[in-house]
Amino acid sequence: MRWADLDMLGHVNNVVYVDYLQEARVDMMRTHARSPQTQGLAEGVVVASHQVTYVAPLLFDFKPVYVESWVTEIRAASFTMAYEIFRENPDGSRKVFVRASTVLAPYVFATESPRRLKPEEKANLEPYLELYPSGVPSKPLAFGDTKRLERGHFPLYVRFSDVDAYGHVNNVKYFEYFQESRVALMQRLRSHHGIETWPAVVVAQTDVTYQAPVLARSQPYDVWSYVSRLGTKSMTIESEIADGETRLARGQVTLVFYDLETGKSVEPSPQVRAAVESVV
């Protein structure tokens, strides 16, 4: 862990967890699952989707935090990996902070095209194949209809440092983009409705699907966000990153209204609820 991983609540930021998952996945593919026959798989895959469930807040500590990763499904042109981020308790049990899954697809970067898994690559993944601890696979991603509301628009400027070794914006950065867009949306709602105090929120679940690469350029992309569900103590924001009419990625995040003093979920005030309903 790094001190810079913490956010304003003193927790490891939700985006940083996805960076932890990437580090674990790269280590597994390059070190543990690598062979001369599968070097292309270790160095040539793209993320098709992420599902991340935040179980408990992770606070800074000099004790290590562990990421366990394994394969849950192998298909013709993709495979799914699952993860747990945890610390070990003195009695040998686990304190789990995140459970997640990632769908990965082999990719030929020279031609910018996907490909099928080779038989030797499947064989190399099979030793890591097992079900989720509960024996139940993750739920499929389910997004609602997209809405392009002007109040939910966020101009996205890609930074030079956002690009990875493949020349694409790294998959972790999309979580940061969606976070920046929803923070801007909440601030815009607060200002427009004259609300002095906006409640804190914590992220409970984030799902992201990747449809086309985002590249570095001087012109901004567009992020469009709206509230697809408003519950008693939580809400779900759906967003898309677009280049004009072309959709590049979709994101869905469930946020829980949170009291910093009690550490418990709370209901938003009627004023906040009315502000949120304006972008439903």
Pinpoint the alpha helices (H) of the chain.
14-27, 39-43, 119-125, 171-192, 270-277
User: Is the pLDDT assigned to residue 40 strictly greater than 80?
Assistant: no
Q: In which region does residue 48 sit, left (phi positive, over 0), alpha (psi from -120 to 50) or beta (all else)? A: alpha
User: Is the pLDDT assigned to residue 251 strictly greater than 90?
Assistant: yes
For 77, 128, 144, 249, 278, the CA distances from 150, given in Å and listed in that order, are 38, 46, 18, 19, 11
Containing H/E element for 238? Answer: strand 234-243
- Give the Cα separation of 182 and 253 in Å (integer): 9
Domains of the chain (ranges; CATH) run 1-140 (3.10.129.10), 143-280 (3.10.129.10)
Choose the weakest-confidence range: 71-80, 91-100, 118-127, 265-274. Answer: 118-127
For 112, 187, 203, the CA distances from 154, given in Å and listed in that order, are 28, 12, 20
In one letter, which amino acid is 49? Answer: S
Look at residue 61 in the predicted model and tell me its pLDDT.
87
For 81, 105, 140, 278, the CA distances from 98, given in Å and listed in that order, are 14, 23, 18, 32
pTM, two decimals, is 0.91
Containing H/E element for 153? Answer: strand 153-156
Closest CA to 226 of 176, 186, 171: 186
Q: What is the mean pLDDT of the chain?
A: 91
User: Is the pLDDT assigned to residue 34 strictly greater than 70?
Assistant: no
pLDDT category at 134 given cuts 50, 70, 90 is: low
Pinpoint the alpha helices (H) of 36-170.
39-43, 119-125
Query: For the segment 45-81, what is each residue's pLDDT rounded down to a tens digit?
Result: 999 999 999 999 999 988 889 999 999 999 999 999 9
- Please name the residue that has the structure tokens 């991983």: 5
Length of the chain: 280
